[in-house]
């Protein structure tokens, strides 16, 4: 199965409010394994970059000034995603911007039925935990040391690993022994450590000397209980 994990960077939080895409990063998965194929572009948003947005992703007006507009990458983007499911963290946000740009170009929108939201999956499977991308990377032991600022391609690559872990990890099934050859299964079942040593059986019966000492001890007891008459029987 082919899937696309993607992330976007923007000038702000609202496409209807005038914000635009400035970066798209997509990673291709086939059967939950990265193929090495990616789609990555920076985009000229045709507007100034707010300081608070630049602080998040580091993309300045000067850097984006000579980049192409979304409509110039539109066909390439659509060819890459094709009809595959599209996975993002807080996917509704990214879909809103992708579809906003597609609508502005007069192209059909990406159907939200293709949307897979890893944030929703994480909230369902890890209730009470932190669900940011950084927190999930830490939880699953995914190296995020290169993530100094947000970046669409790097974040998509990290999210691809998180998505695999949220989906059950690399090990899809647990039938490891069943997958072994019959001879291997037999050896697993009967093999014993080479250092095993067998102890001789313990003898718990008393020796004649111990019996003799016990008899002498009992004979020396004064008025033992077992020597008295049974009061119930005597009555």
Q: Would you list which residues are annotated within the binding site?
A: 7, 9, 52, 57, 155
Q: Which residues are annotated as a binding site for substrate?
A: 7, 9, 52, 57, 155
- For residues 156 and 3, the answer to whether their CB atoms sit within 8 Å is no
Q: Which residues are annotated as a binding site for a divalent metal cation?
A: 7, 9, 155
Beginning with the edge strand found earlier in the chain, give each strand of the sheet holding 21-30 in spatial order.
Answer: 33-42, 21-30, 2-10, 86-88, 115-117
- For residues 117 and 227, what is the distance between their CA atoms, to the nearest angstrom? 84
- Catalytic residue chosen out of the listed positions 73, 89, 131, 150: 150
Q: How far is CA 27 from CA 101, 202, 219, 235, in A?
A: 20, 67, 91, 95
State yes or no: is 150 an active-site residue.
yes
Residue 155: exposure state from Cβ atoms within 10 A (0-12, 13-18, ≥19): buried
- For residues 155 and 6, what is the distance between their CA atoms, to the nearest angstrom? 8
End-to-end Cα, the chain, rounded Å: 90
Residues recognised as catalytic: 150
């Amino acid at each position: 199965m082919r899937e696309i994990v993607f992330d976007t960077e923007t000038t702000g939080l609202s496409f209807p409010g005038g914000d635009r895409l400035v970066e798209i990063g997509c990673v291709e998965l086939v059967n939950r394994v990265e193929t090495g194929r990616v789609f990555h572009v920076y985009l000229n948003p045709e507007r100034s970059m707010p300081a608070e947005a630049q602080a998040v992703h580091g993309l300045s007006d000067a850097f984006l000034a000579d980049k192409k507009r979304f409509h110039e990458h539109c066909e390439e983007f659509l060819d890459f995603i094709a009809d595959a499911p599209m996975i993002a963290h807080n996917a509704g946000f990214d879909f809103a911007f992708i579809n906003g740009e597609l609508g502005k170009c007069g192209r059909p929108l990406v159907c939200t039925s293709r949307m897979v939201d890893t944030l929703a999956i994480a909230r369902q499977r890890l209730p009470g935990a932190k669900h940011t991308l950084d927190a999930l990377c830490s939880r699953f032991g995914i190296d995020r040391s290169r993530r100094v600022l947000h970046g669409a391609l790097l974040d998509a690559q990290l999210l691809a690993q998180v998505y695999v872990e949220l989906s059950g990890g690399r090990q899809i099934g647990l039938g490891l022994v069943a997958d072994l050859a019959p001879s291997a299964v037999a050896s697993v079942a009967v093999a014993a450590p080479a250092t095993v040593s067998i102890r001789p059986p313990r003898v718990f019966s008393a020796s004649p000397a111990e019996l003799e000492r016990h008899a002498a001890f009992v004979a020396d007891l004064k008025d033992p209980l077992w020597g008295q008459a049974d009061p119930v029987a005597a009555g």
